[in-house]
Chain A
């Protein structure tokens, strides 16, 4: 251990190179992961910000909030199913809004105040009451459009504006800012903006529900579909991954991140392979005077741990600096859980890479230390 630490202390240039290489890759991975998380949260936040365990869609809606339609009158029947603790309603209306003349995309989300499905991430203001019309919660991203508490948002095609009475975080839908209104207000706006939907009556596009303590989510979901016959019930996680492009985006970013970690392993492995080759004589001497293979491996692992942890810290710092200068429009989310996972992956890949050179060490013949070969 002391030998490994002394080598790092006295060969700083060499160790700075591997630390820098790891830091660069970690920086890239963290930025990619932040973009991935940012896009994921920005796309699915409307579903993820509620505490729903599952959502009921109409079968022909194929897990799409836009295509699915369920009569809101089915809600009491859903709430009565064994294992359902609370049930709510959800509707989405993609529209164009304007404040002070500037137009922007917005997703108007219908929900039942106080019931499951409403966002639980209130940052400022208050939730609308069940009987309040044309007031709503705005996602904080709408502040960039000049929206503040008390602002009125007028949707294109609608005559009556919606007053913002609160802000919620991480509640966007398909990267558009959301405006959360009661189902009654949502229906009014929908009929105004999409008059072709008037004939369809009072519908929700999904019925979110929570499961009672002790009940199995899968079993309750099966009960729901059995009771209605024309529904497809999925967990909230499945619903989020079913949103357009989300699964593909997630798998693309995951593939890039996994490949980057393989590169961390390869870079570390190559570095230690070169170092081992260069130190072959020295390692032969150490083996000749009684160092065990285990002791030499332990030293390499300690060095790999220090290089990867230092590289991670440096890469993490750089990625956070970048986040400070990125424009707000770039969807980045630095999540603590992702950072922890990537830290572990960095350390593990570094250790695996370093361990690859162990085979070379085992094959170094201590007898080569004599006769001037070392």
Chain B
């Protein structure tokens, strides 16, 4: 089944002589159980596309459909709710809540998503085990290594059982070995759950862990977008 359809999406920032076109008529389809790498240099529009897909930015033109929901027709409030339940994010630089333990950084989603606390707690415990964090569940982020923090971030993205996982430069703050381990783990978690995932990266070595690669340059998707 199609997990994501990006149809003719254009994103323009500013207006008049300050106008910048970040995305031009982008089209992309992603199936369930598919993990895609979005590859491109800095300023190519990767993050803008990820933001539009995740409902964090509204496109100037075009539509984004996740599952059977046209994200671009939802109000801001509905998009926030949609993100809480249907989209998981893994950010650059981990971005965990610093005063929550590893487990609490996952179970915080019980307060945000519509899943019950018991569901979230059960999934959190399972994810912590799968991610090799059982012995670190009670540690604060400052007590964790970079790799461990990024694994917690992966757990947070998956704990509300979203349909789509959006991953932004997951290896940016890690060395090569740790980065590879994290992306392998991420790919395994996404695939084992049959979810769809998009990983923004400029690291070609990470591409081998994904099903497909799409390149973006100057706001245009270049190959394999469909």
On A, residues with C-beta under 8 Å from B are: 1-3, 6-7, 9-11, 281-282, 285-292, 295, 365-367, 369-372, 374
Contacts and interface: CB of A to CB of B under 8 A. Distances in A.
A206 B179 CA distance: 91
B73 to A, nearest CB: 18
A282 B95 CA distance: 7
B98 A282 contact: yes
Nearest to A7: B99
Interface stretch (B64-72, B105-113, B188-196, B201-209): B105-113
Contact of A6 (B50, B82, B100): B100
A126 B113 CA distance: 70
Nearest to B169: A372
A372 B172 contact: yes
B112 A295 contact: yes
A7 B101 CA distance: 11
Contacts of A367: 51, 56-57
A288 B87 CA distance: 10
Given A10-B99, A367-B56, A2 B81 contact: no
B54 interface: yes
Contact of A290 (B100, B104, B112, B172): B112
- If over half of A's interface residues share one DSSP class (helix, strand or loop), that class is named, otherwise mixed; here it is helix
A256 to B, nearest CB: 38
Given A289-B84, A290-B84, A370-B168, A6 B95 contact: no
Interface residues of B, number: 35
Interface in B85-128: 85, 87-89, 91-93, 95, 97-100, 104, 108-109, 111-113
A11 B54 CA distance: 32
A288 B112 contact: no
- If over half of B's interface residues share one DSSP class (helix, strand or loop), that class is named, otherwise mixed; here it is mixed
Given A295-B112, A366-B80, 14 more contacts: A2-B108, A3-B97, A3-B111, A282-B98, A289-B83, A289-B109, A292-B80, A292-B81, A370-B47, A370-B91, A370-B92, A371-B51, A372-B168, A374-B91
24 contacts: A3-B100, A6-B99, A7-B99, A10-B99, A11-B99, A285-B91, A286-B112, A287-B80, A288-B89, A288-B91, A292-B80, A292-B81, A295-B111, A366-B56, A367-B51, A367-B56, A369-B89, A369-B91, A370-B47, A370-B50, A370-B54, A370-B89, A372-B172, A374-B95
Interface in B167-193: 168-169, 172
A289 B89 contact: yes
Interface string B125-156: 00000000000000010000000000000001
A241 to B, nearest CB: 52
A1 B98 CA distance: 16
B93 A290 contact: no
Contact of B156 (A2, A289, A365, A371): A289
Contacts of A372: 91-93, 168-169, 172
B99 A288 contact: no
Contacts, number: 89
Nearest to B56: A367
A372 B47 CA distance: 9
A185 B168 CA distance: 94
Contact of B140 (A10, A281, A295): A10
**Max chain B Cβ within 10 angstroms of own Cβ: one of A1, A281, A295, A371:** A371
B77 interface: yes
A6 B80 contact: no
A361 to B, nearest CB: 13
Contacts of A2: 108, 111
B115 to A, nearest CB: 11
Contacts of A9: 99
Given A370-B50, A370-B56, A370-B91, A290 B83 contact: yes
B132 to A, nearest CB: 23
Contacts of A11: 99
Contacts of B77: 292
A301 B34 CA distance: 42
